C-alpha cells in the first residue's frame, strides 16, 4: 500500500475526531498473531514455519516503526548520542504507543542496550506467571520491529530481540550495528 | 499547561496511528500472501469477525448500553456509541428499507484509510473489510445474524464510504462462537 505523507494538525486538548481507540491495536495484533500462526501450523509445521511468522510480524513492526518515526514531533532535539535516542524511545515513543514508559534502560556503553518493561500491556492480558511464556514471543516480534524501525528513522541500524521471564514482564535487547 | 495538553493529544494521535499503520501493514502483507483481492477480502472479513466476537465484551463493559429492542436501536448504538468509541467518528444512518431490516452507515471520513492509496492492480480490494467482519462478529454475540458490506468507498473515488447493514435473523440458540 502506498502511504501518502500528510501533515495533520490535531485539536489541542480534547481527543480529536477520527482517532482510533487504544484497545483496537491490541485486538488487531492479537488476531494477526493468531492468524499467522494458524496458517503456519498447516502447511509448514516446525521451526521453519515459526520463523516465517515471527519474521513477518517483525517486518510489519519495522515498517510501522519507520512510519511512526517519521511522524515524531518536529521539535525533536538532535540526539547528541545514541543513548539519547534510546532514552527517547523508552520514554516518549513507548508512552505514546502504550501509555506507559519503559521501566528501565541499561547499557554496557558499547552499543548494547537492554530495555525492560515490567508490565508490557500486550502481555498483560495473558495470564500472569510462567504458564504462557511460550506464547509470549509471538506478541513481542512486532514490538521488536517497531523499535528497530523507529531507530532506523533516527539513523540508527540495530538488531532487536526480546525475551520474557515472568509475564507480563519482558526485556528488549537492542544491539547497535556499526556500518 | 497547554504543552501537557498537546502532549496528551500527540500521544493519542500516535496510538491511533499505531493502529491504522498496523492495519495498513497487515493489508499489505495479506496482498503479498494471497494471489487475488477476493481472498484478501475474505481474510480481512474473517479476522474482523474474530476481533468482533471479542470486541463486543469490551464494548459492553465500557459503554453501559442496555439491550437493543429492535434493529433501529441497534443502528443508533452502532453509529453513535460504538463507532464513536472505537474510531472517533459518528457515521450517519440513512436509506432504511421499508421493512426496517436494512440501513446504511455513511462515513464522511474513515480513519483506516488516512494516508492510504490503493495501487492500480488492486481494484477489487475492499481495504477496510475488517470493519464488516467486526460488525458481523460483534452482533452475532448479541444474538443478531447480520450482513455488512461496503457499497461505496472513498478509496475507490466515491464521495463517501457507505456500509450497508442487513438484518438476517435473530439467533435463538446460545452456541459458543467457533474458534477459527
Q: Is residue B175 part of a domain?
A: no
- Contact between chains at B88 and A1 (C-beta distance less than 8 A): no
Q: Taking 90 as the threshold, does the pLDDT of residue A15 lie above it?
A: no
Q: Which residue range is the domain that position B62 belongs to?
A: 16-170
Q: Is residue B3 part of a domain?
A: no
**Domain harbouring B62, CATH code:** 3.30.1380.20
| More confident: A67 or B6 | A67
Residue the block writes with cell 492468524: A35
Q: Is residue B8 part of a domain?
A: no
Question: Strand A158-164 relative to strand A104-107: parallel, antiparallel, unpaired?
Answer: unpaired
Mention every residue, 6+ apart, whose C-beta is less than 8 A from residue A168: A118, A119, A120, A121, A123, A124, A126, A128
- Report the residue of chain B nearest A73, measured CA to CA: B10
Residue B8's pLDDT band, with cuts at 50, 70 and 90, is low
Q: Is residue B10 part of a domain?
A: no
Query: Which of A6-15, B5-14, B131-140 is predicted least confidently?
Result: A6-15
**Chain A interface includes B25 (CB < 8 A):** yes
**Chain A interface includes B14 (CB < 8 A):** yes
**Chain A interface includes B19 (CB < 8 A):** yes
Q: Is residue B176 part of a domain?
A: no
Q: Is residue B116 part of a domain?
A: yes
| More confident: A54 or B167 | B167
Record the cell numbers describing residue A91, joined without a space.
520514554
User: What domain count does chain B have?
Assistant: 1
ipTM: 0.90
Q: Exposed, middle or buried by CB within 10 Å (0-12, 13-18, 19+), for B10?
A: middle
- Report the residue of chain A nearest B86, measured CA to CA: A21
pLDDT for residue A8: 37
Note the pLDDT tens digit of each residue in B89-112. Answer: 999 999 999 999 999 999 998 999
Measured distance CA(B64)–CA(B70) in Å, rounded: 17
pLDDT for residue A92: 87
Amino acid at each position: 500500500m502506498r502511504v501518502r505523507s500528510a501533515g495533520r494538525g490535531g485539536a489541542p486538548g480534547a481527543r480529536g475526531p477520527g482517532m482510533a481507540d487504544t484497545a483496537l491495536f491490541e485486538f488487531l495484533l492479537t488476531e494477526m498473531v493468531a492468524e499467522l500462526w494458524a496458517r503456519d501450523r498447516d502447511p509448514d509445521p516446525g521451526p521453519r514455519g515459526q520463523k516465517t511468522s515471527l519474521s513477518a510480524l517483525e517486518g510489519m513492526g519495522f515498517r510501522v516503526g519507520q512510519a511512526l518515526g517519521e511522524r515524531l514531533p518536529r521539535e525533536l532535539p538532535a540526539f547528541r548520542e545514541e543513548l539519547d535516542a534510546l532514552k527517547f524511545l523508552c520514554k516518549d515513543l513507548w508512552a505514546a504507543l502504550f501509555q506507559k514508559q519503559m521501566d528501565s534502560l541499561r547499557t554496557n556503553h558499547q552499543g548494547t542496550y537492554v530495555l525492560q518493561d515490567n508490565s508490557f500491556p500486550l502481555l498483560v492480558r495473558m495470564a500472569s506467571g510462567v504458564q504462557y511464556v511460550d506464547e509470549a514471543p509471538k506478541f513481542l516480534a512486532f514490538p521488536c520491529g517497531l523499535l528497530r524501525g523507529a531507530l532506523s528513522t533516527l539513523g540508527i541500524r540495530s538488531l532487536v530481540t526480546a525475551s520474557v521471564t515472568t509475564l507480563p514482564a519482558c526485556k528488549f535487547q537492542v544491539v547497535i550495528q556499526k556500518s | 499547561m497547554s504543552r501537557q495538553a498537546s502532549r496528551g493529544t500527540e500521544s493519542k494521535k500516535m496510538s491511533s496511528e499505531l493502529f491504522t499503520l498496523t492495519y495498513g501493514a497487515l493489508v499489505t502483507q495479506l496482498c503479498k500472501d494471497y494471489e487475488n483481492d477476493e481472498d484478501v477480502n475474505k481474510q480481512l472479513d474473517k479476522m474482523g469477525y474474530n476481533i468482533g466476537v471479542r470486541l463486543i465484551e469490551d464494548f459492553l463493559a465500557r459503554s453501559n448500553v442496555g439491550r437493543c429492542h429492535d434493529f433501529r436501536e441497534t443502528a443508533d448504538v452502532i453509529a453513535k456509541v460504538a463507532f464513536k468509541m472505537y474510531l472517533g467518528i459518528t457515521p450517519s444512518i440513512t436509506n432504511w428499507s421499508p421493512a426496517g431490516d436494512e440501513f446504511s452507515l455513511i462515513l464522511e471520513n474513515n480513519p483506516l484509510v488516512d494516508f492510504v492509496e490503493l495501487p492500480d492492480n488492486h481494484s477489487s480490494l475492499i481495504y477496510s473489510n475488517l470493519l464488516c467482519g467486526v460488525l458481523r462478529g460483534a452482533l452475532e454475540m448479541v444474538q443478531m445474524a447480520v450482513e455488512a458490506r461496503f457499497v461505496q468507498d472513498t478509496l475507490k473515488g466515491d464521495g463517501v464510504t457507505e456500509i450497508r447493514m442487513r438484518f438476517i435473523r435473530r439467533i435463538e440458540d446460545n452456541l459458543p462462537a467457533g474458534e477459527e
